[in-house]
Structure 1
Amino acid sequence: MDTLLDVLVFLAVALLGYFMGQRFPHPGEWIRRWGSRYRAAVVRPPGPWRWWSRLLLVVGALAATALVWPIIQPGDPVADEMLEPAEVAVIVPVVLVFPVAWALLGRSRPYAWRVAIALAACVAGWSLWSVTFASYGTPPNIDDGLRWYLVGTGVIVASATAVESWQRRPRDLLTMRWAAGALVWMIGVAAAFAIPVVGDQQVPPRDTILPLPPAMTVVHEEARCAMPENFGFGSRSCLRRFTVAATDGANVRELARRLGEHLQRTKGWPATWYDSSTAHFPCRRIGWLNPYELCLELRRDESTSTVKLELAYYNGRERVVY
């Protein structure tokens, strides 16, 4: 197919030069010379993939990520919704992993160039998708897009390397450059597995609070999702609320102190005490690769002499990117 296209281009240039030469001899001669140079310089016979071509792939892939660079985007009113420079500094090198791997693994043209163009197109597609559809909350989000991009380009590089190396001897493959490319490819695979999965969260578990110590009882419990924004945890979070009362007649301040100590000592919640009955509990991570945190809030209700405990999952990254 490529040979046929090259022949068609050459024939088109030759015919154009011929007809131009019949009417305008000098421009026609120039077009014929240009066609000859094109075939000699661009349509090259198969051969080794040179270092400048490898470098051009990496530079082209880097340029294809320009859409996600904050400096390219306009200012207000979307300046606060863009990827931050620190995020771009992390994401862009991850995106370039598989193009760099192929720049090291590719061996011969024009085959290596065809794969390089496909990888650069994938990078451009990821950039366009990220600035158009990506978010940090509702899937598909920016993590999902990055994950599927890595899976696709990783398969392309692995398949292309296998096809190109099919008829080569093992000693021709085991070079320092090939080993470096294989290492970079494995780093890309690890990155694809390390990207967190952000999805709909379940209702927080009851055992983060229960069972309660003696002299306390749960008088009301509720669980709900899709909360209004004024709850402060995000529209996609799920909340579990307990209303706790004392069974021994203790006042609400004493009840709050007992509950705070129970959560801190028995359930492992770190607490900051502002006074003997007022504790603040910071959110805690529920997994290294999970962006959601489990948050706890303790409130005293003086009118009913009860204490309300609210548990909710919170995703601090739940915001629109663009």
Structure 2
Amino acid sequence: MAIVLLVPIAWVVVAPDPGRIVGALLVASAAGWSLATRLWASWATPPTVDDALRGYLAVGCAIVVTALWLDRHRHPIIRRPWLGLALVGVACAAVVVLPAVCNASIPGRDALLPLLKGVVIVAEDAGCESRGSCERSFQLTADDGADPQEVARRLTRHLEDRGWRGVEHEAKACRPLGYLANPYRTCVSILHLRGPGTVEVLFNVFNPREPRISYASETP
């Protein structure tokens, strides 16, 4: 992750003569983050990789801010390179701004609503099937008697207008739900149905890094 380099780069830019002690502390904190991520952090639900990253940034910012404060008489902070100070500010802000990643969330209704004219909802369901996977489904039909293929075409255009690309019949269009330490992805698919609804639009939020349990078939 490039954000890991933000703290040491900020220190190199902001300090005219980077001290060895501060540099050693930053190297040690980066090594600690790497070790913690390797041995204890997990991408599985709920992910803890973001906690390790947030802790590393907090420690790094504390080291840099403390060093700047202790050296303020020899090198006043207001005379430090503005780019370095900006990088320090971004790194420290990331500690608060970096979103906490928890369990998978149920997709909101606003993923599809408001609907385009002429299409109505006949059924709706939402819930979490398993750890790290939640979904919301809409069964829809047209109030003008259009066939399922036409309803699917209308919904495809509607979803494309909302930023989804590549939505086709029985095919998923997916995109990341977040960045950095957020492993979740969100997908949408359109399915033809039989029954009260002619078309189903399915939204899914899942963790692709969630370990799946596989059962080996027993041979007689």
Q: TM above 0.5, one fold?
A: yes
For this pair of structures, how many residues does the alignment match? 206
Q: Distance in 2 between matches of 1:102 and 1:213?
A: 53
- Give the match's secondary structure for 1:96: helix
> Which digits, 9 at most, give the CA deviation of each residue in 1:197-216, with x for residues without a partner?
23335322212323434543
> Which digits, 9 at most, give the CA deviation of each residue in 1:142-192, with x for residues without a partner?
333122212112112212331243xx3xxx4269xx835x74354144145
Report if the CA contact (8 A) 2:173-2:188 is conserved: yes
Identify if the C-alpha distance between structure 1 residues 141 and 189 changes in structure 2 by more than 3 Å, giving closer, same or farther: farther
Mapping 1:133-212, distance limit 5 Å: 133-139=40-46, 141-165=48-72, 168=73, 172-173=74-75, 179-180=80-81, 183-184=83-84, 186-194=86-94, 196-197=98-99, 198-212=101-115
Who is 1:126 aligned against?
33
Does residue 94 (structure 1) correspond to residue 6 (structure 2)? The answer is: yes
Identify if the C-alpha distance between structure 1 residues 124 and 213 changes in structure 2 by more than 3 Å, giving closer, same or farther: closer
Mapping 1:106-121, distance limit 5 Å: 113=21, 115=22, 117-121=24-28
- Give the match's secondary structure for 1:143: helix
Question: Any gaps of 5 or more consecutive residues in structure 1?
Answer: 1-86, 229-234
Of residues 125, 130, 134, the one that matches 1:238 is: 134
Question: Any gaps of 5 or more consecutive residues in structure 2?
Answer: 212-220
Does residue 218 (structure 1) correspond to residue 121 (structure 2)? The answer is: yes
Who is 1:16 aligned against?
none
Structure 1 residue 141: Cα displacement: 2.8
Q: Distance in 2 between matches of 1:288 and 1:131?
A: 19
> Which digits, 9 at most, give the CA deviation of each residue in 1:71-111, with x for residues without a partner?
xxxxxxxxxxxxxxxx5xx365336336646875556xxxx
Q: Distance in 2 between matches of 1:290 and 1:122?
A: 18
Mapping 1:44-55, distance limit 5 Å: none
Q: Which protein is richer in helix relative to its size?
A: 1
Aligned partner letter, 2:6: V
Does residue 256 (structure 1) correspond to residue 155 (structure 2)? The answer is: no
Report if the CA contact (8 A) 2:167-2:189 is conserved: no
Identify if the C-alpha distance between structure 1 residues 140 and 222 changes in structure 2 by more than 3 Å, giving closer, same or farther: closer
Report which structure shows greater RCO (CA 8 Å, sep ≥6): 2
- Give the match's secondary structure for 1:173: coil
Aligned partner letter, 2:106: V
Mapping 1:53-64, distance limit 5 Å: none
Q: Distance in 1 between matches of 2:203 and 2:10?
A: 41
Who is 1:296 aligned against?
188
Structure 1 residue 240: Cα displacement: 0.8
TM-score (norm: length of structure 2): 0.68
Structure 1 residue 306: Cα displacement: 1.9
Report if the CA contact (8 A) 2:138-2:200 is conserved: yes
Task: Using the aligned pairs only, state the percent identity.
Answer: 32
Report if the CA contact (8 A) 1:271-1:281 is conserved: no
Identify if the C-alpha distance between structure 1 residues 287 and 145 changes in structure 2 by more than 3 Å, giving closer, same or farther: closer
Identify if the C-alpha distance between structure 1 residues 103 and 261 changes in structure 2 by more than 3 Å, giving closer, same or farther: closer
> Which digits, 9 at most, give the CA deviation of each residue in 1:16-45, with x for residues without a partner?
xxxxxxxxxxxxxxxxxxxxxxxxxxxxxx
Identify if the C-alpha distance between structure 1 residues 102 and 306 changes in structure 2 by more than 3 Å, giving closer, same or farther: same
